[in-house]
Structures are given as structure tokens and as C-alpha cells.
Amino acid sequence: MNFTSINSDIAAARLSGESVLPSPIRSLENFQRSGKSASDINNQVCLTFDDGPDPDYTQKILDVLADYDVKATFFVLGSAAEQFPQLVEKMIAAGHSIGNHTYTHRHPWLVSSADAKNEVTRTTELIKNITGNTPRWFRPPFGRLRTAMRKQAHAEQMTTVLWSRSIIDWGILGTATGIARRLEHIKAGDIVLMHDGKREHNHPEIMLQCLPHFLRSLADKALMARTLDNIT
């Protein structure tokens, strides 16, 4: 690990990197501000699922989404997509969008610049091989911005997408009560962070308990869930 290059990279990002790279998308309002879309976000939300595909949970989540005819965006890990390509194919077949969430989910600040780029490129290649299309969306692990990674994503024509609402379906806050309460607060324009991958402290099994009620409630609130591809 080369701390000198990491520190200089962060310093460079502070000085100039942000000015040459487009700001990450954090909510659907950003799409309008960036001039990419004139679509009306009044009743739209984007549900995003990270860290999959997962052999135990992704299919279950796909089934619940299908039950309510809801489309989502999956930010997949290259290493998991490589292992379970059939789940990525099912996402595409069901009309969901795919984003790049790096190959191994290493912390963006703790890898060399070369590894940071490789994490992005290797995953793009895998997604392309499985789906036939290059992903349009990139989300760095932990939402941590690293200039080398973002530049690589930008060079590959991907837009960096973060979120406006995390349901915190992980760690000690990731209880059914807590997740359900946070899901109740989802509103138009939100990009919602959820997890289908059971890695580290994620609780997809608890999120799954809350998902049907939440998806049912979208109709009551007149909210329409759209994929990132369908926003632009």
C-alpha cells in the first residue's frame, strides 16, 4: 500500500479533481440540474441494491420486486457477478438496471491508484461480457470518492451515483423496526440505498422482511419506482 500516493491523490482531488469531474448524483433532482433530463421527478424514486449478486438473497429480492412489478438498479460486485452470472442475467431479463460497484469492494482510499482503476475496469468488462452492454452507473464502495476511481469511471462513460436515503440495512441499526421506519420516510426524488449482498455487516434477510410492505406502500403514496436507466 502506498500512502504517499493515496494522500497526494486525495490532496489533488481537493485542489482540482472535483472541478474536472462531474459531481456525483445523490438524488433525482441532480438529474434535472445536470440538464440530462427534463423528466418529472415529482412522483419518482430509485431503489438501488448493492453488493450482490448473492446466491441466497438476490433471487428472493427479484421475486418480491416482480410480485409488485417494481424495477430497481443493482450495483453489482465484479467478483460476485463473475461467480453468479446467471443472477445478473435474471436482473436484466426482468428489466432492472445494472451498475458497477467495483470488483472486490476494497475501500477506495486504501488501494493504489492502479488497483483503484482496475477495480472499476475489471467489473465493467465482466458486466459487458454477461449482459452485452457496458454499465452506465458507478457507485464506489462505502460511497467514498477517490479521484483515480472516479476518473476511470468517467473515462468509461459511467456516471457516479450515490444516494439520498440509506435504509441502514446493516450493523446494529439494521433491525426490522429501524429499517421499516426508514423506509416509511422515502419520498419523491430519493435514491434509496439497500443491500442484496450478504457481506460484512449487511442484513439482506431483515431487509427482505420489510420489502413487501414498502413496495405495497409506494402505490398508496403515488410513488413510481424507476431504474436509473429510465430516469434519463
Residue matched to cell numbers 443493482: 74
- Choosing from 51, 115, 169, 196, the residue that interacts with Zn ion (CB under 5 A) is 51
Closest residue to Zn ion in the complex (CB) = 50
User: CB burial class (10 A; 0-12, 13-18, 19+) of residue 79?
Assistant: middle
Phi/psi for 74 (5° steps) reads -105, 120
Active site residues: 50, 195
Among 139-147, 150-158, 169-177, 221-229, the segment contacting Zn ion (CB under 5 A)? 139-147
User: CB burial class (10 A; 0-12, 13-18, 19+) of residue 19?
Assistant: exposed
Q: How far apart are CA 109 and CA 107, in angstroms?
A: 6
Examine residue 156 and tell whether it contacts Zn ion (CB under 5 A).
Answer: no
Residues, the chain:
232
Among 49-57, 110-118, 148-156, 180-188, the segment contacting Zn ion (CB under 5 A)? 49-57
Site string for Zn ion, 55-94 (x = CB under 5 A): ----------------------------------------
For residue 134 the three cell numbers come to 457496458
Smallest distance, Å, CB 224 to Zn ion?
A: 25
Neighbours of 143 (CB within 10 A): 16
- Provide, for the chain, the percentages of residues in helix, strand and coil under a 3-state DSSP scheme, each rounded to the nearest 5: 50, 15, 35
Examine residue 54 and tell whether it contacts Zn ion (CB under 5 A).
Answer: no
Smallest distance, Å, CB 50 to Zn ion?
A: 4
Would you say 44 or 50 has its CB closer to Zn ion? Answer: 50
Examine residue 50 and tell whether it contacts Zn ion (CB under 5 A).
Answer: yes
Residues in touch with Zn ion (CB under 5 A): 50-51, 141
